[in-house]
Every structure is written in C-alpha cells, then in structure tokens.
Homo-oligomer: A and B are copies of this chain.
Amino acid sequence: MQANNYGCLTCDNTNCLIKKHIDKEAVQEYLGRKNTFNCNQGQQFILEGAPVNGLYFIYSGAVKVYRQTATKESQIIRFSRNGEIVGHRGFGTNYVYDISAAALSDTILCNFTSDVLIEMLHKAPELMFDFMLFYADQLQKSEANAKRFGQMTVREKVINGLLFIESKFGQKDGYINMILSRRDIADFAGTSADQVIRVISALKKEGLLIAKGKKLGIPDLQIFAEQLQERSYFLEG
C-alpha cells in the first residue's frame, strides 16, 4: 500500500458520512489526521485477528468483506463500494478485527484510527448521531437477511445474491458492473460454486439472466425478483 493524499474537500462521495458533515469546524479539524492508501485489485487490507487500526472509508473502488473458517471455506459478508465504510465492526470494544477485507478492483482507502475517530465523534455530536443511525441501519439489514437465509433454497440464495450484487454495483450496457468469480458469488450466497453454476445455467435457459464472458446481466429486474418467494424477500444494503 502506498500512502497518498486524497482530500475530503475534493471528494465527491456524497454518501460519505464525513463528507456530509464536512462543513462543521469540529470535523475539519480532524481531516488532516486521515491516512490514505492505494490498494491493488485482489489485495487484502484487513486481516481477521489482526489488531484494529480504525475504520476505512472507500474513496474509490470496491471491496469484499469476508470471514474464513479453519477448513478454508470462506464466507463473504458484504460487498462495499465508494463512499461506504469498512472495518466499522472493530470499532468500540474490539481489539482485533473479526473479518477480513480485500479489494475487488483497484481501490483507494481513507483510514481514521479509532482514537482519532472517537475524539472527532465527541466533538461533533451530529456526526456521532449519524454514525449511530448508520449502525442501526446496518443492523436492521443484517437481521432482515440473517435468519431467513437458513430457510432459502439454493435457487433463492443465488437469486437473492445476484439481486444484491446488482443493486450494489448497478448494470452498464446491460451487464452488472462488477465481475465476480463463481466462487465469490457462492461464498456470498452461502452455497457451493457448483450449485451457483447450476442455478445460473437454469436462469439463463429461462431467459431471466444473460451472460457475455464472465459478465452477467439481468434483463428484467422485476421478473427476476419475483422468483423469490415472499418469505425470502430481498433487502438492499
């Protein structure tokens, strides 16, 4: 990772919490204590079990947040893109990260150490309030998907996963704006790569999904989403 400097003032991530409160003097005081990193595609920048060194804001690029088991299975917990926060779960009481994170494409990261961030939050209660709501929101999304996950069929898991990926990265020229391996999709959907391929093949035959090389496209989101029974409803997040 190389250190550079990408200022908050010129940043155009309108969904960034810091950016939202950039006009407050208390926030501006701390901008200089931000660290910025370049992270190449595939590179891991948070390692499960490593000491927490604060939060990361994604300036540009995309990352996956995942956890690995002893048996080398891995589980992708979330995808994140520019403007979003990574590593926030290590915040507060934790001393080591309980997740890993790696870049899906070349990514620029802004880092605040926990100490700096805590100080900043106390100086700017409005920012703190938004952080609280952010966590509450994340919690809601997490719980909404969480348990229900165990009752979905494989087909539903994959459809749910693809819908999520589409909502996160969007489509461009008819194809999802992010190329993921079958394995990543499987790790995200909570099944095996084999099953993902089966379901994708079936969906292609049904005309619900199109593919060009590794790129996947969803021609009709409405119909695609209707494939989910109401019991496994999709939540963006």
Contacts and interface: CB of A to CB of B under 8 A. Distances in A.
Given A70-B231, A150-B149, A132 B142 contact: no
Interface of A: 69-71, 73, 75, 77-78, 88-89, 91-94, 98, 121-122, 125, 128-129, 131-133, 135-140, 142-152, 157, 190-191, 230-231
A98 B143 CA distance: 10
21 contacts: A70-B230, A70-B231, A71-B230, A71-B231, A73-B151, A73-B231, A75-B151, A77-B143, A77-B146, A77-B147, A78-B143, A89-B143, A92-B137, A94-B140, A135-B136, A135-B139, A142-B142, A146-B147, A146-B149, A147-B190, A150-B190
B89 A190 contact: no
Contacts of A94: 140
Contacts of A146: 77, 142-143, 145-147, 149
Nearest to A99: B143
A60 to B, nearest CB: 25
Given A147-B190, A149-B149, A89 B230 contact: no
* A interface: dominant SS: helix
Contacts of A144: 98
Contacts of A131: 132
A133 B93 contact: yes
Given A129-B128, A230-B70, A88 B136 contact: yes
Contact of A151 (B77, B142, B190): B190
B139 A132 contact: no
Contacts of A230: 69-71
Contacts of A133: 91-93
Contacts of A98: 140, 144
A11 to B, nearest CB: 24
A92 B140 CA distance: 11
